[in-house]
Amino acid sequence: AQTVTQSQPEMSVQEAETVTLSCTYDTSESDYYLFWYKQPPSRQMILVIRQEAYKQQNATENRFSVNFQKAAKSFSLKISDSQLGDAAMYFCAYFHAGNKLTFGGGTRVLVKP
Amino acid sequence: EAGVTQFPSHSVIEKGQTVTLRCDPISGHDNLYWYRRVMGKEIKFLLHFVKESKQDESGMPNNRFLAERTGGTYSTLKVQPAELEDSGVYFCASSRGPIAGAQETQYFGPGTRLLVL
């Protein structure tokens, strides 16, 4: 069975600085998708970034970028120029087939002004 | 476009009682999913509807949980009778089509926080 591990329960970053969240996963599949979701306090979870495993190029969305290392089964998220609005729970998720996402335990990001 | 909505936002019930959670997906989204996050643990898949049909209910924990999607629109998740370990946040998500093969994603609702005392 696929598993997703986020080893950092909480990360703190100074406003305008950069923070990197780690995510590792276990799968025997070669074709899959990886996602980072963000859930602000008391608000709904939104998609931050998406990566297709067959693409070698790392996905980027504005201040958010990933470092996808397929061989190492690693999918880290970098938040650059952190803003107060980035404070949230971040979930890494894996998808292969069947339309169900497998999530990691989440990392809480605190942004200090 | 309205997002996925869930009702209630919070529910506190006693062990043995019944609770029904509701999810309204984004209009036009045939796929509807239920997930659950028990305190401090991973978000776990519960089940997946395609229109009114259950496509995958492999994540449903036991027969105290019943999900329906009448008419392929909104969905309800009933827990009867509720147990202490059912406490957690129940998320609903929807998507227009399957994730793979297209720029498709699951859009999540804000969740229902259930506390069973």
The tens digit of pLDDT for each residue in A8-58 reads 999 999 999 999 999 999 999 888 999 999 999 878 899 999 999 988 899
Facing residue for A44 by CB, picked from B35, B105, B108: B108
Average pLDDT in chain B? 91
pLDDT of residue B114: 96
pLDDT of residue B70: 86
pLDDT band at B41 (very low <50, low <70, confident <90, very high): confident
User: Quick check: A99 and B56 CB within 8 A?
Assistant: yes
Closest-CA residue of chain B to A43: B110
CA distance linking residue B96 with residue B39, whole number of Å: 30
Q: Is B104 on the interface with A (CB under 8 A)?
A: no
Distance of CA A3 to the CA centre of its chain: 14
pLDDT band at B1 (very low <50, low <70, confident <90, very high): low
> What's the one-letter identity of residue A77?
L
**What average pLDDT does the segment B29-36 reach?**
94
Separation in Å, CA A35 to CA A12, A23, A67: 21, 10, 12
CA distance linking residue A6 with residue A24, whole number of Å: 7
User: Quick check: B44 and A104 CB within 8 A?
Assistant: no
pLDDT of residue A26: 95
Cα atoms found within 13 Å of the Cα of residue B98, Cβ hemisphere only = 8
**What average pLDDT does the segment A87-92 reach?**
96
Tokens of A28: 């025997």
Contacts of A101 in chain B (CB under 8 A): 35, 43, 45, 106
Selected for mutation to probe chain A from B31, B35, B57, B99 (highest A CB count within 10 Å) is B99
Cα-based torsion angle of the residue sequence B69, A3, A54, B30 in order, rounded to the nearest 10 degrees: 0
CA distance linking residue B76 with residue A107, whole number of Å: 29
pLDDT of residue B53: 93
pLDDT band at B100 (very low <50, low <70, confident <90, very high): low
Name the one residue in this structure whose structure tokens are 């005392």: B117
Contacts of A107 in chain B (CB under 8 A): none
> What's the one-letter identity of residue B107?
Y
Residue B101 has pLDDT above 60, yes or no: no
pLDDT of residue A1: 66
**What average pLDDT does the segment B49-77 reach?**
93
Closest-CA residue of chain B to A38: B108
Selected for mutation to probe chain B from A50, A52, A101 (highest B CB count within 10 Å) is A101
Length of chain B: 117
User: Quick check: B33 and A99 CB within 8 A?
Assistant: yes
The percentage of residues in chain A with a pLDDT greater than 70, rounded to a whole number, is 99
Tokens of B80: 């009867």
Q: Is B44 on the interface with A (CB under 8 A)?
A: yes
pLDDT of residue B96: 87
Average pLDDT in chain A? 93
pLDDT band at B72 (very low <50, low <70, confident <90, very high): confident
End-to-end alpha carbon distance in chain B:
37
Closest-CA residue of chain B to A5: B42
**What average pLDDT does the segment B71-81 reach?**
95
Q: Is B74 on the interface with A (CB under 8 A)?
A: no
